[in-house]
Amino acid sequence: MDAQETKKTVVCIEDEPEMIDLVRLILGRKGFELIGAMGGREGLETVRRVKPDLVLLDLMMPDIDGWEVYQQMKADPALKDIPVIVVTAKAQSIDKVLGLHIAKVDDYVTKPFGPQELLQSVEKVLGMERAEESPNR
């Protein structure tokens, strides 16, 4: 591993504090800075303020759901290029997942997810996979 580049900032928009803590734990070990935002409204404000490298977005939230947050981000020229990884519950219907492809989200993980799964998704979306692991060369 080469020297730590500047820390990447990730905003996790989620309505469960323990989920934010879990993500902070997983990503913190890899040197990411995680900023948690409780719910969609706070999430949007945080993203506008911080302009993170990546957003982890839970779809199911009581105030503004994840789709609404996603659409508002994509409609905002200052935010539209920030990659988004959507977090969905296993039980969510297939149309949600199909919607992800149509909406062009960068990736998604389903809860419950393992640390490795989350890290792989984050590193993939941020283009951080180490080149020697790339199979197609």
pLDDT in tens, 58-87: 988 888 888 899 999 999 999 999 999 988
Q: What span, in angstroms and rounded, lies between the C-alpha atoms of 56 and 124?
A: 13
**DSSP bridge pairs for 55:** 11, 84
Predicted confidence band at 130 (pLDDT cuts at 50, 70, 90)?
A: low
Predicted confidence band at 2 (pLDDT cuts at 50, 70, 90)?
A: very low
List CB contacts of 120: < 8 A, sequence separation 6 or more: none
Listed residue (68, 65, 18, 76) closest to 39, CA to CA: 65
pLDDT in tens, 15-55: 999 999 999 999 999 999 999 999 999 999 999 999 999 99
Listed residue (81, 44, 92) closest to 64, CA to CA: 44
Predicted confidence band at 133 (pLDDT cuts at 50, 70, 90)?
A: very low
| C-beta pairs of 130-134 under 8 Å, 24+ apart in sequence | none
pLDDT in tens, 90-120: 655 555 666 666 667 888 888 888 999 999 9
From its phi and psi, is residue 31 left (phi > 0), alpha (psi between -120 and 50) or beta? left
CATH number 3.30.1950.10 is the correct assignment for the domain at 9-126: no
Residue 10 backbone dihedrals phi, psi, to 5 degrees: -125, 130
